[in-house]
Structure 1
């Protein structure tokens, strides 16, 4: 997905509809000029609703949608007629979208399923007409309620990519090459840092008709948790991945140090990320002999499975897909 077409952060001003005023009206019939109150209630103001849509992968369609105003409810009228409710506004968002209040930063909603709806800003309630206030002791109430005001304020929509597997590694670790070799995704590949500037998603076919989703995330650098490099712009996407695949190139000067830096940056950003399933893939391993593979294996953590792969020669790719599939479909035991 081209950088210009991937938008994962939007600030918009929202205002739900005002409720319609209740009617203060008295009935006048042919044979009874004082038939009593018959003022109807006001209509509800329009809601602003978020709805999940699996066909969307970005917030691009909302880029120039800076002000969202729902319709006001209509006023009530005589003959106990209730005013029409204001039309709701439905904002379609990709799965993984988080809605926040711009002032407090409070998370107000998370959209994780297709068709899931959340009333983000409820419309104002319509006012009661004077019929509602009729009682045995007050047969001719001469008041009705005004409609309730709608809600308004600046809001944030933030997308965290939903993928089964997230590729984690330094720039030029071979993440984009792997994704392009095992899926139909075509991320930009070049021999310089930060080739990938936005998350790239690919559907990886597995045995039979099965598949899983893999995300190529922009590379980490040391200090990413403090905002260096692409910083938080990409780290938040890792939170939605079920399995983390650490990519460490075979030609790295220090494989253990590279993994430790990646691991440490995730821990500083969000310690809960360390509870996810992890697999280490040593990429570009077609240049290694058995002796070098054994030396590298000794450097890597014993408690995290690792394997040697080459996206160019397809070495170890089938075994990698098997390991990822097993990790995705094995229940995590409660600690």
Structure 2
């Protein structure tokens, strides 16, 4: 089964909790704080495995959660950090955030890695909170929650050249005749439902990877037929081979088919319009093909190289392979443009700066709800069973302007304030 898209939930490991501890040594009756920090949680990391060809594994497992870090220990010993979780994906996998549609990465080379969910840092032990005013603090942080998100994986087949054309024009037969690939071949539309890859050897020693892709129909760029599934894979090919049924075996006009397929490719992505293309005038062994080819050449002109071939008899195949290899040698590599990189970078930087100290307050009946990534994380990392931790939390709320914002919103002494999964009574002591 070929699977080329998957939606997956990933969560980095939570950081281990810091602890409250004091030195208890002989002849040291009032030892200082000795609580160690918790270990960091593990990251969730995607890694490219060239042995994989589909995203089939994600059909059966869609949730991945890294381990949390160990708790801090006494005698100022830190807890161990958790191991990262590695998830194998095939080359050609594009990763985006499924909820925000933020581009995360493009994995193309064996061994390439991408962190998709950061583990949380370990909470600080009470040693970290010692000051001149409070030399024996009874305060320790809980571990930071690991990052969690839904990610979208999209596989785009990596091939040097891709065969495009209407269904049943002979793409699979052509691939089988020039490589060791054995795609399913049948005398009906959409025999090819998934991409097939084959390594093609040219007589002069050159070689390239050819992809036989599902056939197109009109409206493919809008998802009709197998359109989007097909066009996704065309993006990766450096050279497009447009296969035409030059014999018109289904009473189709070869030139009209040529124009329609080119239009679908253009409507899907204007970048593909400038991609190098050669024309494989297939089925030249059938009646009517020579006459149709002459008419086709008149209408197309010298814009494209046209190779008369027959995938069944092998007619014209050597010349065709030399021509494709030459075109491939001259074709530029497919790379992300500088503009695209800058656009992604700017979006990420803006988001991070904007969220640094941002919070907002809403009403839920009689309850005031405080929202914000940093404040929700602070609540999760605060141990409310420790008096010093509660006092620290209250000070941060005041220093960050949360108390003042609640008053401005109308909150009064005794009202319920909700932050994340926690709720508090608002104590309005104005100094």
TM-score bucket of the superposed structures, by smaller chain:
over 0.9
Deviation at 1:300, TM superposition (A): 2.3
Q: 1:264-289 CA deviation, whole Å, 9 max, x = no partner?
A: 00111111111211111100112367
The 1:239–1:142 alpha-carbon spacing in structure 2 relative to 1, beyond 3 Å, is: same
- 1:276 corresponds in structure 2 to 275
Deviation at 1:317, TM superposition (A): 1.1
Unmatched runs of 5 consecutive residues or more in structure 1? none
Structure 1 residue aligned with 2:200, among 204, 222, 228?
A: 204
- 1:310 corresponds in structure 2 to 310
- Say if 1:255 and 1:300, in contact at 8 Å, map to a contact too: no
Computed over aligned residues only, the root mean square deviation of the Cα atoms, in angstroms, reads 1.9
- 1:264 corresponds in structure 2 to 263
User: Counterparts in 2 of 1:128-139, with a 5 A limit?
Assistant: 128-139=124-135
SS in 2 for 1:257: helix
Q: 1:108-161 CA deviation, whole Å, 9 max, x = no partner?
A: 221111100011101111112222233445432322222111122322211111
CA distance in 2, matches of 1:281, 1:194: 19
CA distance in 2, matches of 1:301, 1:19: 66
- 1:238 corresponds in structure 2 to 234
CA distance in 2, matches of 1:207, 1:115: 32
User: Counterparts in 2 of 1:216-231, with a 5 A limit?
Assistant: 216-231=212-227
Deviation at 1:178, TM superposition (A): 0.5
CA distance in 1, matches of 2:311, 2:319: 12
CA distance in 1, matches of 2:277, 2:224: 24
CA distance in 2, matches of 1:70, 1:317: 52
CA distance in 2, matches of 1:289, 1:264: 24
CA distance in 1, matches of 2:53, 2:43: 24
SS in 2 for 1:328: helix
More helix by share: 2
- Say if 1:12 and 1:66, in contact at 8 Å, map to a contact too: yes
Aligned residues between the structures: 330
- Say if 2:284 and 2:290, in contact at 8 Å, map to a contact too: no
Deviation at 1:296, TM superposition (A): 2.5
Q: 1:239-271 CA deviation, whole Å, 9 max, x = no partner?
A: 111110000011233222111101100111111
CA distance in 1, matches of 2:301, 2:18: 70
SS in 1 for 2:95: strand
CA distance in 1, matches of 2:320, 2:186: 23
State yes or no: 1:60 paired with 2:56.
Answer: yes
Unmatched runs of 5 consecutive residues or more in structure 2? 334-431
CA distance in 2, matches of 1:292, 1:169: 17
TM-score in terms of structure 1 length: 0.93
Deviation at 1:204, TM superposition (A): 1.0
Deviation at 1:301, TM superposition (A): 4.7
Deviation at 1:181, TM superposition (A): 0.7
TM-score in terms of structure 2 length: 0.73
- 1:179 corresponds in structure 2 to 175
SS in 2 for 1:13: strand
